[in-house]
Structure 1
Amino acid sequence: MTSNTIYKSACNAKLLVLLLFLCSYITFGQSDVSSAAKVQAIFDQFMSYRHQNKVDKALETLDQAAEIAENNEDAKLLLDTYHQYARIFLEEGDRETTVFYWDRASILLKDLSYSYGQAFHNYLEAAIRFDEGNNFQSLKLLEESRKLSNNRNLSNNILLLEAYIFTNIEKYEDAIKNLHALIVNSDDKERAYLATKANLQLAKISLELDDLEEGIIHSKAALELAEKHGFFKEIKTAHERLSIIYEKTGSFDESLRFKKNLEQIKDSIFNIEKVKLEAKTADKIRFEHQMNEINKLTAKNEELSESKSRSEITLILTSAFLTIISLLAVSLFRNNQIKLKTNDLLYTKNKELELARDSAVSAMEAKTNFLSTVTHELRTPLYAVTGLTHLLLEENPSEHQKEHLKSLKFSGDYLLNFINDILQINKIDADKLEPLNIEFKLQKVLADVVDSLQQNASENNTSLILDYDPNIPQHLLGDPIKISQIFMNLVGNALKFTKDGKVEVIAKLLKKDEDDVKLYFEVKDNGIGISEDQQKNIFDSFEQGSVQINREYGGTGLGLTIVKSLLGLFNSKIHLESELEHGSSFFFEMDLKSDTNALEEISFEIDPEEFEFKGLHVLIVEDNKINQVITKKMLTKKEITCDIANNGNEAIDLAKSNTYDAILMDIHMPGISGEEATRQIRKFDEEIPIIALTAISLDDSLDSFYEAGCNDVVTKPFKPEVFYQKIGENIFKSKMEGQV
């Protein structure tokens, strides 16, 4: 081969590569004036078919536009056609085909200087992102689209999509502003269609904001426009909106009428056939376009196969490879930009959420601490009220004084119960409660609850019965205090609403598998009962069924809330069955462990009447002067002598230098606390009974009192009978155990 031949060959190869490169980025010529008019008529017809939801005819008109664009090599017209293909398939929910046409449009845009085409491309991408749920990315793309073109129709469509996004992110004022502008729009292409869509979206927002009258107005306006212009899909949506809104307003006849109309529209033969035809047409057009792409690639491949010059094929393949690499690089760069924007958005949103969370936690802690402080501080003056009332009642007051004192005592007890409930709820909200896991006798816990409430039952002429299954293991592991609280609330509640009737407390063994025990509990009564509507909210805080019930029977409405929360600690759930005037039944199951290693204890229980208090000598540790006086007087009534320590250090010194039958220890004191004083005393005296007297606050735990060395706990303000009972039990039980 001569050098001249080689030179010619190389020149031919270069020329061929240049031609192929130019072909891949060719800019098609524009069609003439008559073609433009014909295309505009086609697009107008497409718009009409699209509005009327005649998808098959709309796609066929686009096919005509695409054919003209390819014959005239009109790249801008082909781009506009691809955009409309993508738009209609997106509206029909065919995301895969939407992306197919959007990608083809992206390739054409690379070599076109066409600001409207780029603006519409951004609008379409925003619609795709909105369909994915990426609201903020969509808003950014719409802003970019608005900057590129001031086309009136595109601007109106941007306003509509923005309104949809604003609704999603609950910026209702911005959405409503856009939609009202669209209702009075002067769009020369889609005036009626945009107004219809705007009215439908305003109806949706009105429904979300519970403005039902406004929702009806906009739905009817949308329906009127849709029926007038044949907007099939919008007619269905308007019927749906109206049926929902009328149902919410209680106009069930109107709601039913629109529902029936909607069903007739959905079930019509025309509608069914229309859907089938649309699907068939869409599949046909999508198949033809995809086959067209395959045929082009096949032809290119055959052309390459027929090439005789290896150097030409190599150059062509190299050019193709570089083109592909360039496209991949552009794609990767674009994806990376989107990823960076997304990460920035996520970081910003995470920071906002963290700030909101911290603010909510701080507010909750502030509320919790405030309630804790208030309830704790209220106990000190309440102790004086209840204590002095008790003392005055025991000093033989006159009959008219006795009546006033009893009223005062009742009010003090009511206020105390209310404060205790508030503190309990506060502890539950602050996650300060944890169940104990100690050995206890369930029968004794339930019997104590029943015995303590027998007086309440007698006042209502109601019999209170405990039905206890003897098959339940005698020794169980759990939290007897919280179980007692659960039944005190349930039984107390049942007694409150039952007069001249019966209240039963039932405990049954469901299953025992080695140490695992499943128990069934029920508290049922034949009182006033609870209606179905009231049952829905009966376990919510401060709920008592109705204002009338609250006024007649009193109470805070917190008892059942506490029961529900306490059972949650045991992974148990409360259930209710009730009927008005036929009583109520509260029941639940609980999983506990049986203590097979527990030994039978010798009972040292003593009848309270047998306590011989005379001659006892105790130490009162209390920093509050009023409380000192009241506690001392209550002890004196039982002929018990006492010494008083004003703080923890004095208590330690007096306990070292004197002999006492018991120590009544206040927990919260200046200087060292009652817990610390108890620990110090236990270092030199392990036997003396120490009873904690405390107004329990949020951070207090009965466990910590017992761990410090206390034998028992009495919460202030305490009932006198409980106070004497605890002193007697701890002193005399200790003495009897010592004798044994």
Structure 2
Amino acid sequence: MLHVHSQGSPSPDKEIQTYFSQTRTFKNENKLDFALESLNKAAVIAEQNEDEKSLIDSYHKFALVYLELDKTETTIFYWDRAKVLLDAIAYPYGSAMHKYIEAILLFRKDQNFQAIYMLNDAKQLNNDRNLLNNILLAEADIYLNIEKYDSATKNYNSLVVNNDIYEKDYLATKAYLGLARLYTKTENWEESIKNATSALSLARSNRFFKEIFEANEALGVAYERVEKYNLSLLHNRNLLQIRDSVFTIEKIKTEAKTADKIQFDFMNEEIRRQDEKIEELNESANRSEITAILTSAFLTIISLLAVSLYRNNQIKLKTNDLLQTKNKELQNARDEAVQAMEAKTNFLSTVSHELRTPLYAVTGLTHLLLEENPSENQKEHLKSLKFSGDYLLNFINDILQINKIDADKLEPLNIDINLKKILTEVIDSLQQSAKENNTKIVLDYDDTIPSHLMSDPLKLSQIFMNLIGNALKFTKEGEVTVIAKLMKKEEEDVTLYFEVKDNGIGISKEKQKNIFDSFEQGSIQINREYGGTGLGLTIVKSLLGLFGSKIQLESEFGKGSSFFFELDLKSKDSIVDDIPFEITEKEYDLTGLHVLVVEDNKINQVITKKMLTKKEITCDIASNGMDAVDLANENKYDGILMDIHMPGISGEEATIRIRKFDKETPIIALTAISLDDSLESFYAAGCNDVVTKPFKPEVFYQKIGENILGRKVKNEAS
């Protein structure tokens, strides 16, 4: 059913989302009566437009607000209403939210393990970032309740640095409060004070009134335990003021009145619907006599048709049997295909990871040998070896990238970006390749494009790196033009047009239809002459698919090619651009540093130690995670270089254990990242930075300088 709206008025969907956004804000600010009123408006629009998914979302949000009001029965009422609608349609996000609310209800009844089980089910149904963050918070609260402090700490820490586009500060505030409660339980009063203070600061700046109360409450208790009675008294006085201003009898009465009115109106509407159904049934009863007469007349005709229908049914039964057989065959084929895909994913992930370890030895030893004044003949061979190592590493990275996309392990971020800066940095990084082919790169950038857009900077960089790099590869003594233009802008919705065109060798018509397939480069001759894996355009196509966009191609053999696409983004016009455009890399003097190297591979130990010695850095070496924890506890290091994948306890677990007694020493994760690795989990464990193996020496040294010397300078300044 289509609904037409007058020009200039918002669509029902946008109106509903606006009311949902208001509900979220009011709920987080503990203005529950306003939250219910906004939510009621959204539900009315959803019902008028027969928008079942938005109505399900409305019922779920009602349930969550009534939970805040401690009206469990009303919560369950709306939760049940959502279930009735969910049974009739396929709505993964709605099903995930339904299980999330059920988990909260179970947790409130102290059924902790059933709640965790339900949250795991919810995570499998949908990957909405905001919902996953709230699930992470709920898990942390449950872990805290059952005294699984390590798991709770990990979840809370990951939420402290979350990038949620809707509730970033609210989730961080709740995480700090969770940590404060955790450290209160474990009687670590200094950490409790530190986290409660952070929570109070965030809550005050965002007017999270309930959380302001909880933070003051935590600080009052903690300061009393460390015998800072003046500060304890200050926060206890704050509690009294907050009780008087926020948790007033008048406010509670208003919230209860609004909640009861909305529920009463909903019940009345249900009664009205039931009355209409009864009236319809009464009318049909008056017609029953006429119906009986007509029925007897039709019986004769029906009996004549019965024989024919019987024969048709026999044919249908045979057809259904055949269809069921075919459906089972299709189901089996699908299951086999899924198993094959999982096997391929796991195989490629394992191979990609395992290849990185010997590659680290190849690239590391090559770098060291090149710096030891080799003869000209040796230098030529070493440069060839370095080129081969870099080529193989890029190939592995490309396979891993496609594998992640195929396995749905990637989803685009939605954070503030500077598009012109991204394009400029990509072009600058490819200038050396352009010089080698005597080719010029031109950027045609539309200055009317908003300076602040919301997207994923890394994935956009990968798209343009592949497109521009591909154009440079097939263009000698020519020109590659990168075009970015504003197509349209409506409020915060922006549509941009991008094009990368060259005057290189072009692509024949028959090859264009397969050019985006894996390992396709047009011909064997092209592959031999120009090299490459043939995966670049496949990655571009897959990455654009994550943004809901599609790459298109126009090309004429011998005259050049043009790759173009459109992207729908959100703009943030309210953000003031006060950040300098260029970021300059610093040169660090690393002489005299003493670090701990945690690495189980003997060859890698030797290489890493030699690379450190080149910069006059001394080191101790731990061959496993347990040794690393012991050495870190017994000695003072300027930094720790932590391998992640090791036998025994992993580098991630070792980091968590070290952070229990050492909060300050910088820890840099060195890892051959696999498909299942999560950078967020490394940071949540306590790592300050991550370097992927095999790494470029200059990146390795830069990271050491930033995280060790850079932190020292900041600490001294503060």
After TM superposition, the score normalised by the length of structure 1 is: 0.53
1:511 corresponds, among 471, 484, 488, to 488
TM-superposed deviation, 1:539: 1.0
1:674 corresponds, among 651, 667, 670, to 651
Matched, 1:564 2:541: yes
Q: Which residue of 2 aligns with 1:535?
A: 512
Q: Which residue of 2 aligns with 1:629?
A: 606
SS across alignment from 1:714 = strand
Conservation of the 8 A alpha-carbon contact between 2:421 and 2:581: no
Deviation string 1:348-384 (CA, Å, 9 cap, x unpaired) is 2222211111111112212222222222211111111
Deviation string 1:454-476 (CA, Å, 9 cap, x unpaired) is 22222222233444444444443
Query: Which deviates the most, 541-550 or 720-729?
Result: 720-729
Q: Which residue of 2 aligns with 1:423?
A: 400
Q: Which residue of 1 aligns with 2:129?
A: none
Q: Which residue of 2 aligns with 1:701?
A: 678
Q: Which residue of 1 aligns with 2:413?
A: 436
Give the residue type in structure 1 aligned to 2:700.
F
Deviation string 1:147-180 (CA, Å, 9 cap, x unpaired) is xxxxxxxxxxxxxxxxxxxxxxxxxxxxxxxxxx
TM-superposed deviation, 1:437: 2.3
Specify whether residues 530 and 733 from structure 1 end up closer, same or farther in structure 2 by C-alpha distance, changes over 3 A only: farther
Separation in structure 1 between the aligned mates of residue 664 and residue 558 of structure 2, nearest angstrom: 55
SS across alignment from 2:529 = helix
Give the residue type in structure 2 aligned to 1:479.
D
Conservation of the 8 A alpha-carbon contact between 2:597 and 2:620: yes
Separation in structure 1 between the aligned mates of residue 516 and residue 685 of structure 2, nearest angstrom: 36
Specify whether residues 336 and 581 from structure 1 end up closer, same or farther in structure 2 by C-alpha distance, changes over 3 A only: closer
Deviation string 1:32-77 (CA, Å, 9 cap, x unpaired) is xxxxxxxxxxxxxxxxxxxxxxxxxxxxxxxxxxxxxxxxxxxxxx
Specify whether residues 616 and 503 from structure 1 end up closer, same or farther in structure 2 by C-alpha distance, changes over 3 A only: farther
Separation in structure 1 between the aligned mates of residue 589 and residue 299 of structure 2, nearest angstrom: 106
Give the residue type in structure 2 aligned to 1:488.
M
Q: Which residue of 2 aligns with 1:640?
A: 617
Q: Which residue of 2 aligns with 1:478?
A: 455
Matched, 1:380 2:357: yes
Deviation string 1:676-729 (CA, Å, 9 cap, x unpaired) is 333444455555443322212222233433444434332221222222233333
Conservation of the 8 A alpha-carbon contact between 2:644 and 2:670: yes
Separation in structure 2 between the aligned mates of residue 601 and residue 512 of structure 1, nearest angstrom: 23
Deviation string 1:527-549 (CA, Å, 9 cap, x unpaired) is 22222222222111111111111
Q: Which residue of 2 aligns with 1:208?
A: none
Superposition pairs for residues 470-619 of structure 1, below 5 Å? Answer: 470-595=447-572, 607-608=584-585, 610-619=587-596
Specify whether residues 480 and 325 from structure 1 end up closer, same or farther in structure 2 by C-alpha distance, changes over 3 A only: closer
Separation in structure 2 between the aligned mates of residue 329 and residue 439 of structure 1, nearest angstrom: 69
Give the residue type in structure 2 aligned to 1:536.
K
Separation in structure 2 between the aligned mates of residue 656 and residue 593 of structure 1, nearest angstrom: 48
1:461 corresponds, among 409, 429, 438, to 438
TM-superposed deviation, 1:329: 4.7
Q: Which residue of 2 aligns with 1:90?
A: none
Conservation of the 8 A alpha-carbon contact between 2:595 and 2:619: yes
Give the residue type in structure 2 aligned to 1:705.
F
2:389 corresponds, among 385, 393, 412, to 412
Separation in structure 2 between the aligned mates of residue 600 and residue 658 of structure 1, nearest angstrom: 45
TM-superposed deviation, 1:666: 1.8
SS across alignment from 1:665 = strand
Q: Which residue of 2 aligns with 1:651?
A: 628
Q: Which residue of 2 aligns with 1:728?
A: 705
Matched, 1:395 2:372: yes
Specify whether residues 708 and 501 from structure 1 end up closer, same or farther in structure 2 by C-alpha distance, changes over 3 A only: farther
TM-superposed deviation, 1:321: 10
Conservation of the 8 A alpha-carbon contact between 2:643 and 2:651: yes
Please tell me whether Structure 1 or Structure 2 has the larger radius of gyration of its CA atoms. 1
TM-superposed deviation, 1:491: 1.7
Q: Which residue of 2 aligns with 1:662?
A: 639
Conservation of the 8 A alpha-carbon contact between 1:573 and 1:588: yes
Separation in structure 2 between the aligned mates of residue 658 and residue 511 of structure 1, nearest angstrom: 60
TM-superposed deviation, 1:565: 0.4
Separation in structure 2 between the aligned mates of residue 593 and residue 539 of structure 1, nearest angstrom: 28
TM-superposed deviation, 1:496: 1.2
SS across alignment from 1:639 = coil
Separation in structure 2 between the aligned mates of residue 335 and residue 448 of structure 1, nearest angstrom: 70
SS across alignment from 1:610 = coil
TM-superposed deviation, 1:550: 0.6
Unaligned runs of at least 5 residues, structure 2: 1-296
Conservation of the 8 A alpha-carbon contact between 1:606 and 1:729: no
Query: Which deviates the most, 707-716 or 493-502?
Result: 707-716
Matched, 1:367 2:336: no
Separation in structure 1 between the aligned mates of residue 621 and residue 686 of structure 2, nearest angstrom: 20
Conservation of the 8 A alpha-carbon contact between 2:640 and 2:665: yes
Specify whether residues 376 and 525 from structure 1 end up closer, same or farther in structure 2 by C-alpha distance, changes over 3 A only: same
TM-superposed deviation, 1:598: 5.5
Specify whether residues 480 and 686 from structure 1 end up closer, same or farther in structure 2 by C-alpha distance, changes over 3 A only: farther
Specify whether residues 324 and 455 from structure 1 end up closer, same or farther in structure 2 by C-alpha distance, changes over 3 A only: closer
Deviation string 1:119-154 (CA, Å, 9 cap, x unpaired) is xxxxxxxxxxxxxxxxxxxxxxxxxxxxxxxxxxxx
Equivalent residue pairs, number? 422
Q: Which residue of 1 aligns with 2:135?
A: none
TM-superposed deviation, 1:601: 6.6
Conservation of the 8 A alpha-carbon contact between 1:604 and 1:733: no
Separation in structure 2 between the aligned mates of residue 511 and residue 348 of structure 1, nearest angstrom: 52
Give the residue type in structure 2 aligned to 1:710.
C
Superposition pairs for residues 134-533 of structure 1, below 5 Å? Answer: 327-533=304-510
Specify whether residues 532 and 712 from structure 1 end up closer, same or farther in structure 2 by C-alpha distance, changes over 3 A only: farther
Q: Which residue of 1 aligns with 2:278?
A: none
Give the residue type in structure 2 aligned to 1:718.
F
Give the residue type in structure 1 aligned to 2:386.
K
Q: Which residue of 1 aligns with 2:187?
A: none
2:668 corresponds, among 688, 691, 703, to 691
Separation in structure 1 between the aligned mates of residue 522 and residue 298 of structure 2, nearest angstrom: 77
TM-superposed deviation, 1:551: 0.6
Separation in structure 2 between the aligned mates of residue 440 and residue 617 of structure 1, nearest angstrom: 37
Deviation string 1:300-347 (CA, Å, 9 cap, x unpaired) is xxxxxxxxxxxxxxxxxxxx9998776455445434433433333332
Conservation of the 8 A alpha-carbon contact between 2:364 and 2:607: yes
Conservation of the 8 A alpha-carbon contact between 1:675 and 1:705: yes
Separation in structure 2 between the aligned mates of residue 328 and residue 581 of structure 1, nearest angstrom: 71
Separation in structure 1 between the aligned mates of residue 572 and residue 713 of structure 2, nearest angstrom: 26
TM-superposed deviation, 1:479: 1.6
Separation in structure 2 between the aligned mates of residue 403 and residue 332 of structure 1, nearest angstrom: 86
Report the RMSD for the aligned CA atoms in angstroms. 2.9
2:696 corresponds, among 719, 725, 738, to 719
Specify whether residues 441 and 673 from structure 1 end up closer, same or farther in structure 2 by C-alpha distance, changes over 3 A only: farther
Separation in structure 2 between the aligned mates of residue 651 and residue 338 of structure 1, nearest angstrom: 74
Specify whether residues 574 and 333 from structure 1 end up closer, same or farther in structure 2 by C-alpha distance, changes over 3 A only: closer
Identity of aligned residues (%): 80
Separation in structure 2 between the aligned mates of residue 526 and residue 689 of structure 1, nearest angstrom: 49
TM-superposed deviation, 1:395: 0.4
Separation in structure 2 between the aligned mates of residue 690 and residue 561 of structure 1, nearest angstrom: 36
